[in-house]
Every structure is written in C-alpha cells, then in structure tokens.
Amino acid sequence: MLPYLKDRALVLHRYPHGITEKSFYQKDASAYFPSWIPRISVRKKENGKTNYLVCNEAATLVYLANQLTLVFHTWQSEVGKINYPTKLIFDFDPPPRSGFDLVRWAAFECKKLLDELGLPSFVMTTGSRGLHVVVPLKPKHTFDVVHSFAKDCAKLLIARHPKKLTLEMRKAERGRKLFLDVLRNTYAQISVVPYSLRAKPGAPIATPISWAELQRSDMNPQRYTIKNIFQRLARSKNPWRDFKSKATTLTAAQKKLKTLPHRY
C-alpha cells in the first residue's frame, strides 16, 4: 500500500465497533494523533482548511490500523502539487443484480479507447462491486482539465454503446445500464487505495490486476481477500510496478479525442 499512499492527502474510514456497526470518515487529523505523522493543510472548496494526514511509512499504517481504520482513501494528487492530479480514474458502477460480465466488458471498452488515444491504462478490482481503470499522469493538468477529459471520454463511450452505459447520476434513471463514474477526478474527491481492505464480509481487498487476469473466468471484484492476498503477492509480480514510470500528459490525447468516430 505504501507506494500508493505516499505523499497523498489521506481520508480514513474507521469502524470502531466492526463492519456491522456505525462507521465514520475522517479527514481532519485528530489532536491526539502523534506529531511524527505528517500533515498537509489543504484549502476547502469554499471556506477554511482541512488538516489531512499523510502516510509515508509502515509505522503510520500500523498506528492508523490500531485506530480501527479499515479502508484507506486518498486524493488523486500529491502534496507537492495538490491542484494537479497524478492519476485519472474511471470507476465502473454496475446496476443492481447484474453480473460481472458487464463490468469486465466496459473496462475493456475503456481500455480500447485509451489505447486509441495513446494512453497507458491500469486496472484494479475495487473489493466492492466494480473496477477502476486508471491512467497515470504527470502533474501538468488541473483537476478541471482532467475531469473534463474523463467526461468527454465517457461521453464517447456512451455514444458508442448507448444501451449499456450511462453518466446518469440518479440510480433510478439508470435502468440496466452501467454508470461510468468520472467524478473522482474533481478537486477534493477521493478513491480507495490499492491493497486497502474493504468493509465487507470476507475482508475483500482492492487489488491491482493485469489486463490478462481480467479475462479469467474466476475474476471478480472480490476475488482477493485477506485470506489469499499474501499468496498472490508471494507468487506474482505487481502488475502496477510500472505505474509511475508510465505517467503521461493528456495534451496529445485531447487532440486525438476530437478526431475519433463515435461509431466503429
């Protein structure tokens, strides 16, 4: 987890009495948290500031786990350039009672588009119901630029597949369509960190996987759990090991996107 937490504003999801009882999200660092844990003060969208924790070492992870933190979320940007995200995320939210095949198909359609645009893409099970497809970025574009680009990509995918995909925020209006969530690319929004636990029975893990693994019949969003994740880590290379080295800008892709057909 540490490479994906490093130098990022952290939001804790704490479960003081277990996953079946009341939980809470924590942004502001508690006064009693030890001083050796770094903080970053970030302005709110409107007024005031939030003092976020930053987790750069294992000792901080241990301390926060002892505070009953189960799920770790971070900003998409790093503390040095807080207004410039270093990743772009497409979050695939399936309709109720749908199988994983729709999510898998949508992720590959997204990869196909990103390949057309010359952008690298990485995929992760969320440990919940869907997948994240992530593009590593150099911190050159503001959140507004990245969000606008992600939304334009989503609109093109929907134009190509109007019966399967939607940007509709209201669940009641989505029907059987999969929601392409690009809102995580806006200022102050957060996403679950790779290798974080999720607050669900069986303790599933948000796990980076390869595109080849996504094709496997036994793959699903909760495939990896606290019981089998260490076996996986012991026998498999990290499929996201090249994530940072693949970081790119959106400049060329923005131009290319305007030229792509809305139908194949």
pLDDT means per 10 residues, the chain with 264 residues, are 96 96 97 96 88 98 97 97 97 89 97 98 96 98 98 97 94 91 96 97 97 96 96 93 97 97 78
Look at residue 99 in the predicted model and tell me its pLDDT.
85
CA distances from 192 to 68, 76, 124, 189, 215 (A): 16, 10, 10, 11, 23
How many CA atoms lie within 13 Å of 216's alpha carbon, on the beta-carbon side?
12
Question: Looking at the chain, which residues constitute the CATH 3.90.920.10 domain(s)?
Answer: 81-264
Q: Cβ(51)–Cβ(33) under 8 Å?
A: no
Is the pTM above the cut of 0.85? yes
Q: Can you tell me the distance from the alpha carbon of 122 to that of 243, in angstroms, rounded to the nearest whole number?
A: 8
Residue 190: its pLDDT value, please?
Answer: 97
Q: What is the pLDDT of residues 164-193, one digit of tens each?
A: 999 998 888 899 999 999 999 999 999 999
Cα–Cα distance between 203 and 235 in angstroms, integer?
A: 21
CATH of 81-264, one of 3.40.50.2300, 1.10.1660.10, 3.90.920.10, 3.30.1360.170: 3.90.920.10
User: Which residues are CB-neighbours of 28 under 8 A, at least 6 positions away?
Assistant: 50, 51, 52
Residue 178 phi/psi, 5-degree rounding, is -85, 135
Helix (H, G, I), strand (E, B) or coil at 45: coil
